């Protein structure tokens, strides 16, 4: 086993390999921290409290507003809906738009955390994962005494729908790559790649905000969606360009899609050693790939135990 790192790790501008995600050890939060805000689709105001959790507990939600405080694991087994966000459910208990918070937790290497929420949807905050990262930094990371699970992808794995796809390829290190292609000139064709060993999640990916197209807003509102959306928590693009600039990155839209992918893949429970590439994908394709990856890991683990 590798030498155990320091018990507590602050984030700040620390290189990712000296923090949680680059460590072979599991991590939790050093203390509890809260964030409150409005849900993107429901418009409901909720409070989320992130609390330390024991080794091997993983990331899990607790609906503290419901009788019995039901637990919803942040795993593919709890996937429920993927229309314009990722929703988890156990029986009648649900929690929606989990992807930004999960991306922040997984991207910073928080393996075990109790996520208490008093409503059905995680707050959108500023539309990115930046405020979640700041909250996690405020809490600090605590190294735990159990080794982190690992998995090396040894053969290609993919899901596809038309020209949209998510594919995983064997690689020497973890890397995510994303491509998008929109007819709107302000967005167009964009690509972004992120490897934890090369750039910090908190500065390269977390600040990228969710975005929408101006000509789709009315349709989404009629469908009962984006009740909590505003120009303060989402970028909006029209035929003449961005309605609420400036952008935080020249390719902020594709960085946000990569953020969503990180959050959705975190539902596997670990990041594989692989290069995961997505093109024109959606939460549905992200989570379909997560299902495939989780199944392969389970099958190979079973073969190893049987062998």
Same domain, 131 and 69: yes
Q: Is 50 part of a structural domain of the chain?
A: yes
| pLDDT bucket at 302, cuts 50 / 70 / 90 | low
Number of CB atoms found within 10 A of residue 196's CB: 25
Tokens of 151: 């998995």
Same domain, 185 and 292: yes
pLDDT in tens, 152-179: 999 999 999 999 999 999 999 999 999 9
Tokens of 290: 């997560």
CB 58 within 8 A of CB 111: yes
Q: What pLDDT score was predicted for residue 180?
A: 98
User: Does the pLDDT value for residue 305 go beyond 60?
Assistant: no
Same domain, 25 and 141: yes
Instruction: Name the active-site residue from 27, 41, 275, 283.
Output: 283
> Who contacts 218 (Cβ-Cβ below 8 Å, separation ≥6)?
none
Of the chain, the end-to-end C-alpha distance in Å amounts to 24
Same domain, 99 and 164: no
Nearest partner of 274 among 258, 295, 293, judged by Cα: 293
Q: Is 152 part of a structural domain of the chain?
A: no
Q: Which of 89, 122, 147 is the last residue of a domain?
A: 147
Q: Is 3 part of a structural domain of the chain?
A: no
Please state, in angstroms and rounded to a whole number, the distance separating the CA atoms of residues 275 and 261. Answer: 12
CB 72 within 8 A of CB 120: no
Same domain, 139 and 204: no
CATH of the domain at 226: 3.30.1700.10
As a whole-number percent, the residues of the chain with pLDDT over 90 amount to 88
Whether 275 is catalytic is no
pLDDT in tens, 25-48: 999 999 999 999 999 999 999 999
Nearest partner of 49 among 26, 69, 27, judged by Cα: 69
Classify residue 88 as exposed, middle or buried by CB count within 10 Å of its CB (0-12, 13-18, 19+): buried
Same domain, 302 and 161: yes
The domain in which residue 176 lies consists of: 157-306
CA angle 178-182-188, nearest 5°?
Answer: 80
Same domain, 125 and 183: no
Q: How many domains does the chain have?
A: 2
The model carries a pTM of 0.93
**pLDDT, average across residues 223-229:** 91
Q: What pLDDT score was predicted for residue 10?
A: 52
**E-only strand ranges, the chain:** 8-9, 25-29, 33-38, 45-52, 59-63, 71-73, 79-81, 87-90, 93-96, 113-117, 141-147, 157-161, 164-170, 175-181, 189-194, 211-213, 235-238, 241-242, 274-279
Tokens of 27: 């991590």
pLDDT in tens, 140-155: 999 999 999 999 999 9
**Mean pLDDT of the chain, nearest integer:** 92
User: CA 88 → CA 79, 131, 247, 264, distances in Å?
Assistant: 5, 22, 31, 11
């Amino acid at each position: 086993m590798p030498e155990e790192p320091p018990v507590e790790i602050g984030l700040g501008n620390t290189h990712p390999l000296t923090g949680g995600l680059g460590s072979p050890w599991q991590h939790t939060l050093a203390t509890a921290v809260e964030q409150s805000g409005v849900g993107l689709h429901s418009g409901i105001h909720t409070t989320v409290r992130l609390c330390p959790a024991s080794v091997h507990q993983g990331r899990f939600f607790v609906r503290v507003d419901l009788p019995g405080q039901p637990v919803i694991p942040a795993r593919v087994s709890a996937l429920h809906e993927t229309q314009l966000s990722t929703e988890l459910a156990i029986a009648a208990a649900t929690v929606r738009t989990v992807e930004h918070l999960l991306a922040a937790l997984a991207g910073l290497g928080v393996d075990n955390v109790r996520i208490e929420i008093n409503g059905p949807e995680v707050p959108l905050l500023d539309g990115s994962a930046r405020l979640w990262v700041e909250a996690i930094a405020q809490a600090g990371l605590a190294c735990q005494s159990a080794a982190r699970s690992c998995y090396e992808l040894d053969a290609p794995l993919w899901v596809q729908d038309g020209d949209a796809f998510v594919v995983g390829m064997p690689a020497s290190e973890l890397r995510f790559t994303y491509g998008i292609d929109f007819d709107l000139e302000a967005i167009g064709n964009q690509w972004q790649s992120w490897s934890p060993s090369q750039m910090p999640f908190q500065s390269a990916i977390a600040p990228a905000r969710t975005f929408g197209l101006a000509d789709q807003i009315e349709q989404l509102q009629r469908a009962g969606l984006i009740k909590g959306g505003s120009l303060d928590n989402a970028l909006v693009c029209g035929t003449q360009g961005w309605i609420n600039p400036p952008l935080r990155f020249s390719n902020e839209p594709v960085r946000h899609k990569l953020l969503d992918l990180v959050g959705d893949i975190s539902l596997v429970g670990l990041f594989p050693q692989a290069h995961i590439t997505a093109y024109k994908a959606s939460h549905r394709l992200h989570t379909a790939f997560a299902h495939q990856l989780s199944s392969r890991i389970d099958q190979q683990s079973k073969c190893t135990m049987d062998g």
